[in-house]
Amino acid sequence: MGNLFFFAFRLVFSKEKGSFSSFASVIAIIGLGIGVASLLITVSVVQGFHNVISEKLSFFEGEGRIRHILSKNFRTDDIQIKKLSNELDIDFVVPFARNIVLARKGKKAEGIIIEGLNELPKILTEVHPNSLLNDEIIIGHVLAKNLEVKKMDKIFVQPLQKKKNINFGAPIKSLTVKDIFTSGLQEFDKTLAYTNLETAQKIFEIDAAEISGLIITNKLTNRSKKNINYPFIYETWKSRHSLLFQWIELQRWPAFIMFGLITLVGVINLLSSINMIIQEKKGQIAILLAQGISYNKLKIIFMYQGGLIGFIGSFIGGFFSFLIINIDKYFNIFKIPSDVYFMDRIPFSFDVYIFSILMIIIFFISFIFSWVPVKHLENINLSTALKFE
């Protein structure tokens, strides 16, 4: 078997000057490499979108949220909530108050969502590791740009839903911009702002025991989920944004099929190359047959050649895609409009496991498909092939 593989290697990297077999092998490798690189880059982009969005949403939303089925506020001393809170680890439960307000700075005004909680999301602890004080707010950089504010500026917020004193306008509250965050998700940076729970309750004119829901920062057991009954529901961050992930899945398979077909073209190019190599090497094949080598061993040599071309092509394609991904990682070459794609750059996620599986699959496909041109070796006429040798 070692000698047969050596013959196959020599066919791929022939040192004979002007050898068509070597040229055909290189062309087949390049074609297959381009197909594999296209497929891996596509897989990396789709997986990157999924990973980045999943990570950021889980950081913002927590593992899940318990809320009223009609999105109404409820009291922390509700019997069901108290029972559930006693069952859960208090370190993983964060009460929050959330509602829509109008934010103003001078003549600039924007509708935003204020979320008040005493423990900031993970993604914001890097920006502001300490808890917010009363009348302090953290806003996204897009909102800061729209309102033309910077750190320590004052903004004014007014709730759009009035709770008390219906004969008077909703109260306007002044808040200090403590920090400005950049999440990479356009909608979050544009519409979301954070205060502590007490400040949010004052803005929304609700009691100190009244909240919009509970953020659960770890996974709930099935038993705990069963204890959440009407009128309360439990939503994971993924179910809250299910349409977004359906969109990602919708984009995944057409892209895989399209670039998979490019890889298939590379494999077909490999078959045609092996067929032309067989035609060029007829004389040498005839000599080997005359010296006693069997047809089966000859077939295995050319099938090894196909597998070797497939392996080298997929490896080069993988290396090329890995190189592109890392160049973009350090130089941020491929930028995208954040208002369309939820982020401002293409998120690549190179998966070594997928790359390894793809290399193995292409090797075996190339090895097996090489049987198509190789099976005609027995049709070679020895006398005719040896006539000009």
Check residue 198 and give its pLDDT.
92
**pLDDT tens digits, 340-354:** 666 777 888 888 888
Average pLDDT for residues 26-48, to the nearest whole number?
86
> Which pairs with CB-CB distance under 8 Å and at least 24 residues apart come from 280-289?
280/19, 280/20, 280/21, 281/11, 281/21, 282/380, 282/385, 283/385, 283/386, 283/388, 283/389, 284/389, 285/377, 285/380, 285/385, 286/380, 286/382, 286/385, 286/386, 286/389, 287/386, 287/389, 289/380, 289/382
**pLDDT tens digits, 238-251:** 888 888 788 777 77
Average pLDDT for residues 219-227, to the nearest whole number?
77
Quickly list DSSP for 67-82.
Answer: EETT---EETT-HHHH
pLDDT tops 80 at residue 50: yes
Check residue 305 and give its pLDDT.
81
**pLDDT tens digits, 8-17:** 666 666 666 5
Residue 229 or 212, more confident: 212
CA atoms of 182 and 256, how far apart (whole Å)? 32
**Cα atoms in the 13 Å half-sphere on the side-chain side of 73:** 18
Check residue 89 and give its pLDDT.
67
Angle between helices 20-61 and 352-369 (to 10 degrees): 150
pLDDT tops 90 at residue 188: no
CA atoms of 187 and 348, how far apart (whole Å)? 21
pLDDT tops 60 at residue 203: yes
Q: Which residue has the tokens 């190599």?
A: 277
**pLDDT tens digits, 96-109:** 999 999 999 988 99
Of 195-209, 298-312, 338-352, the poorest mean pLDDT is in 338-352
**pLDDT tens digits, 125-146:** 766 666 788 999 999 989 999 9
Of 26-35, 116-125, 163-172, the poorest mean pLDDT is in 163-172
Whether residue 231 is preceded by a cis peptide bond, meaning omega within 30 degrees of 0, is yes
- Say which amino acid occupies 24: A
pLDDT tops 90 at residue 157: yes
